[in-house]
Copies of this chain bind each other. A is one copy, B any other.
């Protein structure tokens, strides 16, 4: 398998991108294609011992910034790492593309400039494989679409279900709608409309879930409009970040607190590991005709390595053709 990686994706590029790629090449034994400005990438790569590893470099002179507008990158930076990386996938020269860069730009380039949508997909979605508190769930959509229409949302459920089966290895994922109450009839119009239809579809649909239910592992696939899904995931992340900030603040308040913190550190470290967002490190673009995984901009080496693992699982699970089949078989309501 050949996995293309954006060497210039993360905020700290190219250090974590390249280091994570080297780690992945070592751990998984696959070929890694680092996509970025040739000289710069080779210089970074030279810092690592790559003996026996299969790592190539594909030149891409342009780099997309987090501030670049998704609407203009396709035109303005045709030689970007994202163009080259997704084009490698389209040409069959790579099986997947991983980037920690601008999500909107990656979605726009993948959709409009290279891979395109899987046939029949109304709107591609950004999903996120979240591991929190020992629970793993797939959330779809986390922000590609706002004001989601009913048929888009039903497709999100189908794509998320297939991804969870094929890439995450869950035989019969529990699929749920994110809502403001568990009872049937709770939710906004979209959720109230979607529930009865999902119940009739060939899915293990378990109804509505609330945020705490998700953290308690009650669903494997959580389906939401992208605006609401984005608020959910950012609220989880924000609350956790705030808690750790408070703990650092309080343990740093005086010398006694610092000593107490040092003593409790092994336990606090275990707690941190349980909610470390870099564990899964990958947000698959669902509905794109090729495996594209987005990692967090703040990714460290471990997160990049784990996003590559995510890409590998998606390729091994033959997710794209399964989604194509699943979408083709769907009967959407009139």
* Chain B residues, CB < 8 A from A275: 242-243, 246
- Interface stretch, picked from A158-166, A226-234, A294-302, is A226-234
- Which A residues, 85 to 139, have Cβ-Cβ distances below 8 Å to chain B? 132-133
Q: Is the CB of A260 within 8 A of B257?
A: no
CB distance from A149 to the nearest CB of B (A): 12
The contact of A210 among B180, B214, B234, B236, by CB within 8 Å, is B234
- Contacts A240-B243, A242-B132, A260-B264 given; indicate if A211 touches B235 (C-beta within 8 A): yes
Number of copies of this kind of chain in the complex: 2
Select A180's contact among B146, B211, B237, B267, beta carbons within 8 Å: B146
Q: Which of A201-225 contact B (CB under 8 A)?
A: 210-212, 214-216, 225
A239–B215 touching, CB < 8 Å? yes
Contact A267 B257 (CB under 8 A): yes
A1 within 8 A of B: no
| Chain A interface residues (CB < 8 Å from chain B) | 132-133, 143, 146-147, 178-180, 187-189, 191, 210-212, 214-216, 225-228, 230-232, 234-243, 245-247, 250-251, 253, 257, 260-261, 263-264, 266-268, 270-271, 274-275
Shortest Cβ distance from A240 into B: residue? B239
> Please, which residues of chain B bring their CB within 8 A of the CB of A179?
227
A188 touches B146 (CB 8 A): yes
When distances are taken between beta carbons in the complex, the residues of chain B under 8 Å from A264 are: 251, 260-261, 263-264, 267-268
Closest to A146 in B: B188
Q: Is the CB of B267 within 8 A of A250?
A: yes
Residue of chain B at shortest CB distance from A254: B267
